[in-house]
Amino acid sequence: MITESYSMNQICTITDKDIIGSEGLSNARPRITARAIVKNTQNNYAVMYSQEFGLYSLPGGGVEDGESIEDAVRREIDEETGVNILALEPLGYVEENRAHCDYTQISYYFIVTTDSSSFQQQLTANEIKHGATVGWHTLEDAYDKIANVEHSTTQRKYLQARDVAALNAYKKHLASKI
């Protein structure tokens, strides 16, 4: 159980209609995750890559029992990148409703600022098995790597759609500061 409720603006809801064109909604209890757009002081962004799946994604993962969402994002960033977090700012959340497999998920996204230029990963055995790596990219390159791949599985299409939605919200956030 999550130790706190968390208030963020909703970025979007992604359903089977968006991904595979079918109707229906799941009523499953949502899995809660914490994810981040990690930017360093050189204006580069951390992007995860899974060699086994050919999938680029933003760092993050599941919130563990008894863990707050902020603690989860800090833990996930530490495990997947090992960077020093200077600032942590809420961005918004993405709801996924996958009727085809009776699954729901809510991903809370944060903007993380770091002064790190290298990674000190502490990957899980599963992440190592899947060939997980992380690299720094410009915002445009990060977006292209995540958004401009045609995935063959519904699962990967959902993962791509949620990160693209978060990156689009982040771009709007940046534009509002100009």
pLDDT in tens, 70-80: 999 999 999 99
Full DSSP string of 92-107: EEEEEEEGGGTEEEEE
What pLDDT, on a 0 to 100 scale, did the predictor assign at position 6?
A: 64
* Average pLDDT of span 144-163: 96
Question: 126-142, pLDDT tens digit by residue?
Answer: 777 777 889 999 999 99
pLDDT of 19 above 90: yes
* Average pLDDT of span 87-106: 97
* Average pLDDT of span 58-65: 96
Average pLDDT, the chain: 92
Close Cβ partners of 151 (under 8 Å, ≥ 6 residues apart) = 54, 55, 157, 160
Q: Are the beta carbons of 104 and 29 closer than 8 angstroms?
A: yes
What pLDDT, on a 0 to 100 scale, did the predictor assign at position 64?
A: 96
What pLDDT, on a 0 to 100 scale, did the predictor assign at position 133?
A: 87
pLDDT grade, residue 1 (50/70/90)? very low
Query: How many whole angstroms separate alpha carbon 155 and alpha carbon 110?
Result: 22
What pLDDT, on a 0 to 100 scale, did the predictor assign at position 138?
A: 98
pLDDT of 2 above 50: no
Query: How many whole angstroms separate alpha carbon 33 and alpha carbon 6?
Result: 12
